[in-house]
Amino acid sequence: MALFRKKSSGLCAKAGMCLTIVALSALLLAAGGSAAPNIAPRRDYAEIVSLLRPFIEQQMSAKHLPALSIAIVDDQQIVWSEGFGFADPKQKIPATAETTYRIGSVSKLFTDIGIMQLVERGQVNLDAPVSTYLPDFHPRNPFGKPITLRELMSHQSGLLREPPVGNYFDPTEPSLAQTVNSLNQTELVYPPQSHVKYSNAAIGVVGYVLEKQSSEPFATYLKHAVLDPLGLAHSSFQPTPPITKALAKAEMWSYDGKTFEAPTFQLGMSPAGSMYSTVTDLGRFVSVLLAHRKTPDGQILKPATLDEMWKPQLPNSGGRVFGLGFVLSNLDQHRMVGHGGAIYGFATSLDLLPDDKLGVVAVTTKDCANAVTDRIAEEALRLVLARREGKPLALPPPTTPVSAELARKIEGHYEKGADALDLKYLNGKLTMLRASGGYQAELRQLNNDLIVDNVLSYGMKITPLENAITMGTETLQRVPVPKPVPPPKEWKGLIGEYGWDHDTLYIFEKDGHLTALIEWIEYDPLSEVSKDVFKLPSHGLYDGEKAIFTRDGDGEATQVRVSGVTFKRRPIGGVAGGVFRISPARNISELRKEALAVNPPAENGDFRKPDLVELTSLDASIKLDIRYASSNNFLSTPIYSEARAFLQRPAAEALVRANRRLKALGYGLLIHDAYRPWYVSKIFWDATPDDKKIFVANPSEGSRHNRGCAIDLSLYDLATGQPVEMVGVYDEMSERSYPGYPGGTSLQRWYRELLRQAMEQEGFEVYEFEWWHFDYKDWRKYPILNLTFDQVLPAPQTSASPVDILPAPKYIFVNREPDFIGDELAGIRAGKPLPWPVGSRWSAP
């Protein structure tokens, strides 16, 4: 429900067939009612299902979907329903057609059917002012024209997207009355009947009218008047114990790589998105919608009423086309009605081709993955239509990841007039983001083209050219990105994170605009209206609404109000004086003793001979700021006895080349850490709380630092000698450390990208959770080491000018046995130098 996206490229030509919603008893047999968790494909659907199963599995694998369930309805029969993946991945509980899901905005269809029952009884009039039924409902309306139920149900009321209380973000679970009453604090964004603006708040009001006019709680009325007569035994607007027990575990995600379990709190605006159901129940609902005959048990709605719900309402002002609740569109010239839904971790598509008596329901457990459920549902419908028309059955070929070579070749900024976009390659994905905002899309390979294909969108093709790309009829040229200028000083106090852990609002500067990233997925450039007041774009989720900041006495924003929703600033914890610190889980001295008393994990393999080189001996312009040799680190105590940095020779040579690239641009490399003895990694792991362990290496596997092939570093300005300002600080254990973190300023992210690209050009790859951490490409070819710096090289090397052929170190590793850290390690633990070159392991050159 946070995201509702259905294609609306066309409108149904006519509403020719009158369809009847019939009651339960005549439909259970026709709908294939069964106690089995899945419904096997009807014989004539066997070939279609044999194609769909691998297609669904491929989509789930490519998009990392935990679970997905689907049901296909032909006329009034569920001809196939099945689950894929795991409803509970941790417990390995398989998904089935009877798995319970939250269906988000598909809930709106049931709310609208409930209100249409009252219309048929003459209890409400769609075209009467809502205040007729809710006398205390009076949001500020400067336009004069009153709001009607018809406008609410067709999303032309002008109301905000979200109410101030009981909105999509609000975990306090207020009542429906409190939710609707909070709208009196708001003002209409557009005049009623002038503009299609999707509003969850509007359907909350519809549900409250239903509650007041029926004189019973909304969920109670829907159960006995709609859900029970439809035979939806596993559906509810209330999280009853059987519902919650069967509810699938769903996954949230962010562009920068964060994933977490979806929250399950109840929305105050429950009529807009709080229904629970299964694909089998929804398949029964679809079968009822497709029925066009009366039964002895009567009707839920008259045929003419449903027909009215499937007609476009009011003069349309462009954009999506709505009936009364239903979205109206077409699929390959076949009239289509339905709705999509997205609510924390769940995505649903419900599509009907009423003239063809076909329908599909698909639900998955990945947040906002509607592009996947849409595509699966539509391809299923296309297969059925092809079979009916005697055409070959085929599905589109799968896309593949863009190669690193091609991605790095075309990465950059592209423009044509006011149209601009960025292509970025990070963590193995090539992504696209337009300057106008919207969703960040992944590009994948399809034959000679690139095609947008991720959980949010599918289909746009892009053809790479020499320093240009084509999209449809447009050609955009690649242009260099100049160093950004700092944003206006008055914006500094606005930039930051706001809201909740389950749904964070990011405010940052991008391309000279203050920008919001809202509901995890939508980038919205903001237009300044006045001091601390900005307008959101008309093409986004929050069409035409305002973001209003409140500052404290020091000029820092304490909150921002969007769509009536107040987002409180989220403090940055642990950072003081440019250093991130934690409270260690245990005493560091004790952890050091324990770490020195155990061996690193044994390894087998044909490893290269280690050849650790001290970095400062290769290039004097490489500066050191070895944090673990001081107390300026996340543990607040020195871990190393010396401020030195080593890498394996090939990695060190590559680092020197990267530094040379940066020198030409006026920057140098600032080293925070490089080779790290294994025992230090164990200290870090044991000292770090469990919820932050993604930022430290598991000693049971060894760190790439332990192999001498990882480096932690930043940039400094050659002219001033000062470090540049990145989005987050070194070793910060927060999302701000992710290389794809969207926040901060354009200049901060420009520095981050400059560092990344310089390092990648020389064979390093950034770690997905730390912008400062880079692994050399050959790290797997070196063993885990546990030598102190002094044991690697007892005396400092003399400085040397950078040269192409680097000098050999004083000592080199010439032979490694699997039990290398054997007897000699006792000396290391005791702090004694090894008697090199005695023994077979080390020798002087």
Q: Which of 151, 411, 770, 824 is catalytic?
A: 770
The residues, ordered by sequence, that sit 6+ positions from 684 with a Cβ below 8 Å of its Cβ are: 635, 696, 697
Cβ-contact 562, 488 below 8 angstroms: no
d(CA 3, CA 1): 5
Residue 669's alpha-carbon distances to 413, 455, 456, in angstroms, are 25, 37, 38
**C-alpha separations of 731 from 115, 399, 542, 592, 769 in Å:** 55, 37, 36, 20, 10
CA distance 265 to 353: 34
Check if the beta carbon of residue 92 is closer than 8 Å to that of residue 275: no
Q: How far is CA 472 from CA 74, 396, 459, in A?
A: 36, 19, 11
Tell me how many helices (H) and strands (E) the chain has: 18, 44
Residue 738 near residue 256 (C-beta atoms within 8 A): yes
Q: Which stretch of DSSP H or E encloses residue 283? A: helix 279-290
CB 648 within 8 A of CB 699: no
Closest CA to 770 of 291, 426, 300: 426
378 is a catalytic site residue: no
Helix-, strand-, coil-residue percentages of the chain, each rounded to 5? 25, 25, 50
Mark out the alpha helices in 666-740 (DSSP H runs): 678-687
SS3 label, residue 4: coil
Distance CA 296, CA 316 (A): 39
Residue of 202, 119, 117, 204 lying closest to 154 (CA atoms):
202
Phi, psi for 424 (deg, rounded to 5): -135, 135
Q: For residue 53, how many other CB atoms are within 10 A of its CB?
A: 15
Active site residues: 770
